[in-house]
Structure 1
Amino acid sequence: MKILHTADWHIGKKLHKHDLSPDFDLFIIWLCNCIQENKVELLLISGDVFDLANPSSEARKQYYRALLKLRNLDCKIILTGGNHDSPAMLDAPGEILKELDMHVIGSLRKNLEDCIIPVKGKSGKIELVVAALPYLRDADLRSAGEGNTYEDRLEVIRMGIQNTFLGAAEICKTKFPDIPALAMGHLYAAGVETSESERDIQIGNQAAFHASQFGDFFNYIALGHIHKPQKVNAPVPTYYSGSPIPLSFSERKDEKRVLILDTEKAWIPESIPIPVFRKLLKISGTLSELNSKLLVLESNEALNSLIELEMIETQFDANKIYELDKLNELFDQPGFEIVKSKATFLNQTKGASELYANSQQLEDLKPRDVFLELIAKQEYNEEMKNDILSAFDELLEEVHATESSKQI
């Protein structure tokens, strides 16, 4: 059986207020062709289908249009929820989609067996079993009273993830003996490379799950959450497919891909590169250098290239800030758009609040980073800081969970 692994679609994503829906449409057209050319029978989508827990009506339409295009290829689909997704929203049409050979697991089921999906081949026999595990929320893994210290609570979360995967493995082993098994997951595995666009999960990623804890039962583990495609050092083949399109300027150099498995040959996937539909360009230099670099740009992509400008000058000069704003306002080169600009002055002394104000925009900051700056200024001992940070992380997880439960 041929299987295609992808993840982190983030439908509805805006990059500095710039809509990326055309990028996703082009990806789906390419994906349909890829599935046909490679005769893929099973498509796995490992979480973060949407960028927001309460996506816009346009994002939802784009999601269903994509599913219908894929369904027309006679390809089975298994889709799991990620930390950005609303479990209730994904699960709502589940019974209808199941009739179309699409299995959607937005939330961890009370009965873990309901996350285990047998997949039949063309012969009508079960050829594969998939443990479709979505993003595991704090509430899925521990009760509020467990763990006395911050590290205790992190360890409870790590053990909760491990027990979920081992429990799924045991069900596969018992109910489907001698049938190859594959697991899906959406989490942060220790040691992987991240980008700016990933939201902190499982208490600020400090509960990073060690890949050895997956166990050695599954033939392959299809992961989502990390946008940079990469292999995880684990007892069995374990991979992040990465996001199909760049979602932040930190991903501009990533080689986006999908992964294809041929179970008749091996469980090591083949990497299939995704075409570049638009470029993300980060251009730095003095004001004079920025003007020169912008003049020599050449476009050859399907969509407009997006530009992040950083003016770097030695001495502070308010006139140069004005000139940078003017450069943004007057820039009009076909095939290119400036979506962000900032000014950095090397010899300017800055306090913490000034540093944020001048070198970062509000949309760039993460709540945890701001909170860390705040408590760094207080005279707390290390134990007190850890307790305060633990309380903040739990509140942040609650906020994320509340966002995920909202429906229109």
Structure 2
Amino acid sequence: MRVLHTSDWHVGRTFHGRDLLADQETVLTGLASLVERERVDVVVVAGDLYDRAVPSAESIDTCARVLSAIREAGARIVITPGNHDSAQRIGVFGAFAAAGGLHLRTKLSALDTPVVLDDVAFYGLPYLDPEPSRHALGVDGRGHAAVLGEAMRRVRADLRNRSGLGTMVLAHAFVTGGESCESERSIRVGGIDHVPGAVFDGVDYVALGHLHGAQKLAENLRYSGSPLAYSFSEARHRKQVLLVDIDSYGLHAVTQVELPVPRRLATLSGRLDDLLSDPRHADLEECFLSVAVTDEVRPLDLQRKLQERFPYAVHAEWRPDGGRAAAELRYADAVRGRSDHQIAAGFVHDVRGSAPTASESSLLEQAFREVETE
């Protein structure tokens, strides 16, 4: 059997306020072509199908079209919810969807009941929120490792009653040794968020979700990563999915397949006038950009001016040469012995990098006189 391991679709996510639905649909619908070309039997999504527990109508429609395209290409689908999803909303029609080849594994009570497809048993572990899950599963310990340990104990107990099957577990967790990035929501609970890889011993392959960078923790323990980049910390990621060849004899091979990049991510720094005129930056005009402007005085309308040349400059900050940015002072120290006018003028200087002009000082004085009069 050939399985396509994916995770962290985050359908409906934005990138610094920019809508990504069209890009998400393009990349995810492309999985249908991969299913046909590589003769994939099953596509798994190891959590975070959506970006929020209550997805928008547009996100639901996009997801429905993607899943329909994958199903029409010939693959069955197994999905578990992640920490961004609502397990109840995703799984509400699970019993009916299974008849059409879409298997939604969302219930804690059924985490040790696999979906058996051909000669492989798929155990879908929904994201286990530690505190409610430990009560539901009767776990004394706290933290994600404790509840996942109990879940896997139940999976192994079920496996002892089965034979002649390959085994795959879908799990959404931060496994020790994984490398995180800025776009992942923390699942830290009580100071403990990592789960040791040994928790998953005893199965042929573990399809992990939550971390957005593709990572190999062991031959049979891997993150596929997210199909698109969702933060500038992912600029160097090579987005991919994993083709997993597995059968009743166990795991045979794992093959990486890179995904297309709808819009590259890049960072840029320099003085504003140089950034807007330098021809060397022409190849960045269609990239999502994070820009650091180094002018001594903070430029007015910084984002708007950048977007005149770089329409996808979604993040901009002022980092003046020499490393001087807004001063980090205790409030009491910053205002001690200073008049209201001096404090206001100091604020203007800290934010903009230059003192108020004579006309601006006059306006400030007028404003303070009006306040005192009232």
Matching residue of 1:184: 170
Matching residue of 1:392: none
CA 1:326 to 1:295, structure 2 compared with 1: closer, same or farther past 3 Å?
A: farther
Equivalent residue for 2:328, pick from 332, 346, 350: 350
Distance 2:330 2:134 in 1: 36
Q: Which amino acid aligns with 2:267?
A: K
Equivalent residue for 1:193, pick from 179, 191, 206: 179
Matching residue of 1:285: 270
Distance 1:78 1:199 in 2: 23
Equivalent residue for 2:242, pick from 259, 272, 290: 259
Contact 1:188-1:205 within 8 A present in 2 as well: no
TM-score, length-scaled by structure 2: 0.80
CA 1:351 to 1:100, structure 2 compared with 1: closer, same or farther past 3 Å?
A: farther
CA 1:58 to 1:141, structure 2 compared with 1: closer, same or farther past 3 Å?
A: same
Equivalent residues in 2 for 1:276-355, closer than 5 Å: 276-293=261-278, 296-298=281-283, 304-313=286-295, 315=296, 317=297, 320-322=298-300, 324-328=302-306, 331-332=308-309, 336-345=311-320, 346-348=323-325, 349-351=327-329
Matching residue of 2:371: none
CA 1:180 to 1:55, structure 2 compared with 1: closer, same or farther past 3 Å?
A: same
Using the aligned pairs only, state the percent identity.
26
Equivalent residue for 1:229, pick from 210, 214, 218: 214
1:142 equivalent in alignment to 2:119: no
Structure possessing the higher relative contact order (Cα contacts under 8 Å, 6 or more residues apart): 1
Matching residue of 1:51: 51
Contact 2:7-2:46 within 8 A present in 1 as well: yes
Contact 2:275-2:281 within 8 A present in 1 as well: no
TM-score, length-scaled by structure 1: 0.74
Distance 1:294 1:351 in 2: 40
Equivalent residue for 2:258, pick from 262, 273, 281: 273
Q: Which amino acid aligns with 1:220?
A: Y
Equivalent residues in 2 for 1:88-107, closer than 5 Å: 88-106=88-106
Distance 2:278 2:30 in 1: 32
Equivalent residue for 2:159, pick from 172, 175, 184: 172
Greater Rg, structure 1 or structure 2? 2
Distance 2:272 2:13 in 1: 31
Matching residue of 1:119: 117
CA RMSD between the two structures = 2.7
Compute the displacement of 1:312 (Å): 2.9
Distance 1:81 1:69 in 2: 20
SS across alignment from 2:108: coil
SS across alignment from 1:222: strand
Contact 1:82-1:225 within 8 A present in 2 as well: yes
SS across alignment from 1:98: helix
Q: Post-superposition, which runs of at least 4 consecutive aligned residues in structure 1 deviate over 6 A?
A: 144-147
CA 1:251 to 1:293, structure 2 compared with 1: closer, same or farther past 3 Å?
A: farther
Contact 2:172-2:208 within 8 A present in 1 as well: yes
Distance 2:29 2:112 in 1: 34
Distance 1:140 1:133 in 2: 15
Contact 1:132-1:185 within 8 A present in 2 as well: yes
Structure 2: 5+ residue stretches without partners: 335-349, 352-374
Distance 1:60 1:190 in 2: 33
